[in-house]
C-alpha cells in the first residue's frame, strides 16, 4: 500500500514536469532533402533549448503536395512547414525581390540578408498575415542554373525552342523575357518530365540535380555569376497555433526563428550545392560559366523586371521606396558574402 502511495505521489509530481508541447511539422520533400534536414535541425534545437518541454512531431509524409502547403498550414493541417512563394501565383509580390537575377553565389549569406531586410520592413510580414500564415524565417536556395538535355547555352537564342520546367514566381518572368518556352511545375515532378522527354530542361540550383535524381539525365549546365535567378521560401507557422503557446514557449520559438533559422536553411543548402556540383562533374555534365557577352545580353533583357517589381511592390504590396529596399538588399548581401 505504501509503495502504491509513493508511486501515485511520484506520478503527480512528475506530471507537470513531463508535460510537452508538441508541434506538428510537415515537409513535402523527402526526409533526406536539405530542407527537410534543416527543418529537423530547427526542431532539434527547439527541443534542446526547452529541455524537451517543446518538441516536433515530424510527419512521415507531407500533409499536402508542394503547391498546397501554404494553405495546409493556414488551415491547421500542420503547425509548421515551408513553401516556395512562387507555388501560389499571385499571392506574394514583395518576396519576388529575392528571386531577381545576379543576387549572390551562396545560399547562406543571401538567406540571412533576405531575412534581415524582410524583417526590417513590416510590409513583408503583413503580406503573409494576409494569406493566413505567420513567417518564422525567410530564406533562399543557392544560385539558379540553367540545365538541359540538348545543347550548350552560349547565347540567349540557344534557349529558344527548348521546353523548360520552372517553379513559378520571378523565375517565370525571367524565363519569358529570355524567350524560353516554360511550364510551371513543382520541383518533385522534374525527373518524370525530363526522363520522358516532355521537358528539355529545368531551372534549378545545383543541389536539385541530386535531390530529384536528374544528375544522370541532364547533359548541360550554364552557370551565371550570382545566379540567373533565385527562389524565395518562407518557413512558416499556423498563427492560431502560435497564439496558443505560453509566453515562454513563444520566446523559445522566436529565439531560433528569424536569422537563426534562415542561416540553418541556407548553410545546409550550400553544403549540398557543393556536393551536387562534384557529382555533376563525375557524371560528365558539361558545366560552363556564362560568358560576359551572355551575361550582358541577359542583363539588357531583364533590366525592366527590377523596375516592374519595384512598381508592383509599391502599388500592390504597400512597400515604400521599393527601389531603395532592393538596393539595401543587394548591399547587405554583398557585405555578408565578403
Domain annotation covers residue 100: no
Look at residue 157 and give its three-state secondary structure: helix
Last residue of a domain, one of 272, 301, 324: 272
pLDDT of residue 144: 94
Check whether residue 262 and residue 199 sit in a common domain. no
Domain annotation covers residue 196: yes
Helix axes 107-120 and 259-282, enclosed angle (nearest 10):
150
The DSSP code sequence of 57-109 is EE-SS-SS-GGGHHHHHHTTS-SEEEEEGGGSTTS-SGGGGGGSSS--S-HHH
pLDDT of residue 8: 42
Give the Cα separation of 12 and 172 in Å (integer): 59
Q: Model confidence at 139, in pLDDT bands (50, 70, 90)?
A: very high
Domain annotation covers residue 280: yes
Residue 335 has pLDDT above 50, yes or no: yes
Q: What is the CATH number of the domain that holds 135?
A: 3.40.190.170
Residue 199 has pLDDT above 80, yes or no: yes
Q: Model confidence at 171, in pLDDT bands (50, 70, 90)?
A: confident
Residue 3 has pLDDT above 90, yes or no: no
Question: The C-alpha cell of 208 is what?
Answer: 536539385
Give the Cα separation of 130 and 219 in Å (integer): 42
Check whether residue 221 and residue 326 sit in a common domain. yes
Domain annotation covers residue 301: yes
pLDDT of residue 18: 53
Q: What spatial distance separates the first Cα and last Cα of the chain, rounded to whole Å?
A: 70
The least confident of 12-21, 176-185, 214-223, 230-239 is 12-21
Check whether residue 149 and residue 184 sit in a common domain. yes
Check whether residue 34 and residue 170 sit in a common domain. no
Check whether residue 211 and residue 322 sit in a common domain. yes
Domain annotation covers residue 257: yes
pLDDT of residue 6: 40
Check whether residue 30 and residue 77 sit in a common domain. yes
Enclosing domain of residue 203: 145-229+276-337
pLDDT for 5-46, tens place per residue?
444 444 444 444 457 999 999 999 999 999 999 999 999 999
Check whether residue 30 and residue 173 sit in a common domain. no
pLDDT for 44-80, tens place per residue?
999 999 999 999 999 999 999 999 999 999 999 999 9
Look at residue 205 and give its three-state secondary structure: coil
The DSSP code sequence of 257-314 is STHHHHHHHHHHHHHHHHHHHHHHHHTT-EEEEPPHHHHHHHHHHHHHHHHHHHHHHH
Q: What is the phi/psi pair of residue 69, to 5°?
A: -65, -40
Q: Is 18 exposed, middle or buried (0-12, 13-18, 19+ CB in 10 A)?
A: exposed
The least confident of 5-14, 94-103, 143-152, 161-170 is 5-14
Last residue of a domain, one of 221, 256, 272: 272
Instruction: Report, as an integer, the average pLDDT of 99-119.
Output: 97
pLDDT for 228-287, tens place per residue?
999 999 999 999 999 999 999 999 999 999 999 999 999 999 999 999 999 999 999 999
pLDDT of residue 274: 95
Check whether residue 72 and residue 189 sit in a common domain. no
Check whether residue 252 and residue 287 sit in a common domain. no
Check whether residue 17 and residue 61 sit in a common domain. yes
Domain annotation covers residue 36: yes
- Average pLDDT of the chain is 92
- Closest Cα partner for 211 from 272, 163, 267? 272
The pTM assigned to this predicted structure is 0.89
Check whether residue 219 and residue 133 sit in a common domain. no
Q: How many domains does the chain have?
A: 2
Domain annotation covers residue 4: no
- The DSSP call for residue 156 is G
pLDDT of residue 15: 44
Domain annotation covers residue 160: yes
pLDDT for 152-164, tens place per residue?
999 999 998 899 9
Check whether residue 192 and residue 306 sit in a common domain. yes
pLDDT of residue 28: 96
Amino acid at each position: 500500500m505504501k509503495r502504491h502511495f509513493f508511486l501515485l505521489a511520484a506520478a503527480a509530481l512528475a506530471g507537470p514536469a513531463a508535460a510537452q508541447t508538441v508541434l506538428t511539422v510537415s515537409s513535402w520533400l523527402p526526409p533526406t532533402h536539405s530542407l527537410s534536414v534543416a527543418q529537423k535541425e530547427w526542431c532539434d534545437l527547439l527541443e534542446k533549448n526547452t529541455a524537451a518541454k517543446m518538441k516536433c512531431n515530424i510527419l512521415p509524409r507531407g500533409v499536402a503536395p508542394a503547391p498546397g502547403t501554404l494553405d495546409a498550414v493556414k488551415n491547421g493541417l500542420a503547425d509548421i512547414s515551408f513553401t516556395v512563394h512562387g507555388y501560389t501565383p499571385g499571392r506574394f509580390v514583395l518576396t519576388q525581390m529575392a528571386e531577381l537575377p545576379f543576387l549572390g553565389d551562396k545560399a547562406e549569406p543571401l538567406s540571412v540578408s533576405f531575412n534581415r531586410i524582410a524583417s526590417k520592413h513590416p510590409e513583408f510580414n503583413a503580406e503573409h498575415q494576409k494569406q493566413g500564415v505567420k513567417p518564422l524565417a525567410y530564406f533562399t536556395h543557392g544560385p539558379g542554373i540553367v540545365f538541359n538535355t540538348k545543347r550548350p547555352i552560349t547565347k540567349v537564342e540557344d534557349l529558344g525552342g527548348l521546353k523548360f520546367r520552372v517553379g513559378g514566381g520571378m523565375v517565370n518572368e525571367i524565363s519569358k523575357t529570355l524567350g524560353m518556352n516554360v511550364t510551371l511545375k513543382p520541383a518533385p515532378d522534374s525527373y518524370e518530365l525530363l526522363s520522358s522527354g516532355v521537358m528539355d530542361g529545368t531551372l534549378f540550383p545545383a543541389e536539385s540535380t541530386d535531390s530529384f535524381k536528374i544528375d544522370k539525365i541532364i547533359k548541360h549546365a550554364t552557370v551565371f555569376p550570382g545566379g540567373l535567378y533565385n527562389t524565395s521560401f518562407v518557413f512558416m507557422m499556423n498563427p492560431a497555433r502560435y497564439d496558443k503557446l505560453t509566453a515562454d514557449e513563444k520566446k523559445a520559438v522566436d529565439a531560433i526563428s528569424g536569422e537563426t533559422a534562415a542561416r540553418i536553411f541556407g548553410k545546409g543548402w550550400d553544403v549540398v550545392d557543393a556536393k551536387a556540383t562534384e557529382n555533376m562533374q563525375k557524371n560528365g555534365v558539361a558545366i560552363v560559366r556564362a560568358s560576359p557577352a551572355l551575361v550582358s545580353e541577359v542583363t539588357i533583357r531583364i533590366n525592366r523586371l527590377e523596375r516592374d517589381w519595384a512598381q508592383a511592390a509599391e502599388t500592390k504590396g504597400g512597400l515604400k521606396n521599393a527601389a531603395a529596399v532592393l538596393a539595401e538588399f543587394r548591399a547587405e548581401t554583398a557585405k555578408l558574402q565578403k
